[in-house]
Amino acid sequence: MKGIVDKRDRAGLFRDRLARAMAEKGVTQSGLARDVGVDRSTVSQLLSGEGARLPNAQLVAECAAALGVSADWLLGLTERPERLADLLATSLTMTEAPRALIDETIFGWHQEAAGYKIRHVPATLPDMLKTRAMLRWEYEPQLGRTAEQAIGASEDRLAWMARSGSDYEMAVAIHELEAFARAEGYYRGLPAAIRAEQIARLRNLYGELYPGLRIYLFDARRVFSAPVTVFGPLLAVLYLGRHYIAFRDSARVASFAQHFDWLVREAEIGARDFPALLDRLAAEQGL
C-alpha cells in the first residue's frame, strides 16, 4: 500500500541519518556512546548493522536528544531534522509591545518586508497616516515629556515606510472612523480641530499614495478581526496589547493573508470609495 515503507528501507534510512547527524555535529562514535550511556560497540552496530531491525524507542530518543535532532527525523517520519520545540521557537515568537509609535521591532519587520505587499488591520487609525497633533493627543498621556521626542523619531520611520516600495492594504472597521469623527469611545475628548486636520491629512495622503495604499472598510457587526499585520510571505504578527505574537511558518502566514483577503472581500466600502466616506464624515460633523 502507498505510504508504507519497507522495514529494511526504514532501518537503512535510520543508519544514514544517524551518521549524517553525527558528522554535522562533529560527534564520534565514542562521544555518542558516552552521551547516550551505551557501549561504543552498540553505536557501531547502529551505524553498520544489516537487516531490518531498528533500535528500541528509548535508544532512538536518546540519540536524537544527544544530536539535537528529532526522533521522527531519524526514523524517516519527517523531512525536518529540527525538534518540535526548536521548530516552534523558530516559527513563533512573542515580544513585548511597548506603548510607543513605531518601535524597533515593528520597524525591523517593515524593513525586512520592503518591496512586499503589507496587509494591516490597525488597532485604531493607522499610525503612519496620523498627524503630529493626533499622535501627541494619543500618546502623550503614556509617554509624558518624551512624547514629542518619540513622535519626532517615529516620523522618519513612518516616512521611510511610505516610500519603501511596499504596497499597503489596510482593513479598518467602519465604526472606528465614525467614532473618531464623532469623538466617541476611544476618541472621546478629541478636539474638533485635530479631527478636522486628521481627516484632511487622510484625504490628501490617500490621494498621493493610492493605489500603492488601499484602505477597505468592513462592518464589524458582520465580520471581525483582531489587530494583525501580514508582512508579505515572511511573517504575520498578531497584536495582543502588551505583546506581539509573530508567526513565520509559511502555512500560518498564508492563513493570516487569507483572513485579510476575506475582510477585503466582505468590505462594505471599497478602496476607491474611501475618500467619499471621509467627505461624508467631515460634512456630518462640520469638520
**Per-residue confidence in pLDDT tens, the chain, 287 aa:** 444 445 567 788 888 999 998 998 899 999 999 999 999 988 998 888 665 678 888 898 898 889 888 888 888 887 766 555 554 555 557 676 665 555 677 888 888 888 899 999 999 998 888 888 998 898 877 766 666 766 776 677 767 776 777 889 999 999 999 999 999 999 999 999 999 999 999 999 899 889 999 999 999 999 999 999 999 998 999 998 888 888 888 888 999 999 999 999 999 999 999 999 999 999 999 98
Report the C-alpha gap between 46 and 32 in whole angstroms: 11
Q: What separation in angstroms does the CA of 214 have from each of 52, 57, 227?
A: 60, 55, 17
The owner of cell 474611501 is 274
What are the DSSP calls for 117-151, one per residue? -EEEE-SSS-GGG--HHHHHHHHHHHHGGGHHHHH
* Torsion angle of C-alpha atoms 128, 133, 137, 142, degrees rounded to 10: 60
Measured CA angle at 242 (ends 263, 156), to 5 deg: 75
- Verdict on whether the full-model pTM lies above 0.85: no
CB of 274 closer than 8 Å to CB of 217: yes
- The whole-number pLDDT of residue 50 equals 64
Q: What is the C-alpha separation between 213 and 275, in angstroms, rounded? A: 12
Determine the pLDDT at residue 117.
Answer: 93
Nearest to 282 by CA among 208, 195, 217: 195
pLDDT, residue 192, reads 97
User: What pLDDT score was predicted for residue 91?
Assistant: 59
Is residue 234 within 8 Å of 116, Cβ to Cβ? yes
- In one-letter notation, the amino acid at residue 49 is G
- pLDDT value of position 107: 81
